[in-house]
Amino acid sequence: MKGLEISHVGFHYGERKALDDVSFNVEPGRFCALLGPNGAGKSTLFALLTRLIVADEGVINVAGFDIAHSPRAALARIGVVFQQPTLDLDMTVRRNLRYFAGLHGLSGRSAAIAIDRALAQLGMAERADELVRALNGGHRRRMEIARALVHQPEILLLDEATVGLDAASRQAITDHVHQLAESGLAVLWATHLVDEIAVSDQVVVLHRGRVLSNGPAAELAGDRSLAKAFLAMTAENTEAVA
């Protein structure tokens, strides 16, 4: 498969099991919300997908490349936006992106074209020559997403990308990222906020390191709101474990 395939992945921090037999796929063109409360294991899964840490068990395939056996090919096809911003505030938007393009082996005219294309995808073209410090939080986040697209990845990972933003900025970013999925990217969007999820999205509910459900948001919600269904599901499983 060309998207993301996660099969039976497990990970421990010492004695503590953070991920237990996690399996799901994200196909190209899909927006998949990885929905879980604090401590569910979302950041741990992102660290595995970006090879900051290595899985104890299971297989992760990125665009057909096993991340354990072909890490360079796999990582070249991933764009990632981490929870903590990593921007140089005293450089312009364009220089930040140029630096990142260089890390992916792009320079000169090909880098300039890639940067312009990525900024346009996030509606940030007119801000290219502004200092990052002068941008508001929403625009900084959009710029980070543009940066993650510079090398034209097939899979885009975003870990709680809207933390700390106001309602309008959150909406703009979720709309942009849904459009990116519609244009063919496989998107994995970690969140604990159900209002960022559209009815047609795929939702993987992660709780205490385990996948509780995987399917369309509308199916998970049933005749309730998605928020109620999610709360009921996590509460039920917390009681079962306690």
Ligand X SMILES: Nc1ncnc2c1ncn2[C@@H]1O[C@H](COP(=O)(O)OP(=O)(O)OP(=O)(O)O)[C@@H](O)[C@H]1O
Per CB under 6 A, residues contacting ligand X are 13, 16, 18, 36, 38-44, 192
User: What's the min distance (Å) between Cβ of 67 and ligand X?
Assistant: 18
User: What's the min distance (Å) between Cβ of 38 and ligand X?
Assistant: 4
The residue among 97, 144, 99, 92 whose CA lies nearest residue 122 is 144
Q: What is d(CA 68, CA 58) in angstroms, rounded to the nearest whole number?
A: 10
Q: How far apart, in Å, do the first and last CA atoms of the chain sit?
A: 38
User: What's the min distance (Å) between Cβ of 162 and ligand X?
Assistant: 13
The residue among 158, 139, 173 whose CA lies nearest residue 80 is 158
Q: What is d(CA 175, CA 82) in angstroms, rounded to the nearest whole number?
A: 19
User: What's the min distance (Å) between Cβ of 24 and ligand X?
Assistant: 15
Mind spelling out the 3-state secondary structure of the chain? CCCEEEEEEEEEECCEEEEEEEEEEECCCCEEEEECCCCCCHHHHHHHHCCCCCCCEEEEEECCEECCCCHHHHHHCEEEECCCCCCCCCCEHHHHHHHHHHHCCCCHHHHHHHHHHHHHHCCCHHHCCCEHHHCCHHHHHHHHHHHHHCCCCCEEEEECCCCCCCHHHHHHHHHHHHHHHHCCCEEEEEECCHHHCCCCCEEEEEECCEEEEEEEHHHHHCCCCHHHHHHHHHHHHHHHHC
User: What's the min distance (Å) between Cβ of 19 and ligand X?
Assistant: 8
Between 42 and 178, whose beta carbon lies closer to ligand X? 42
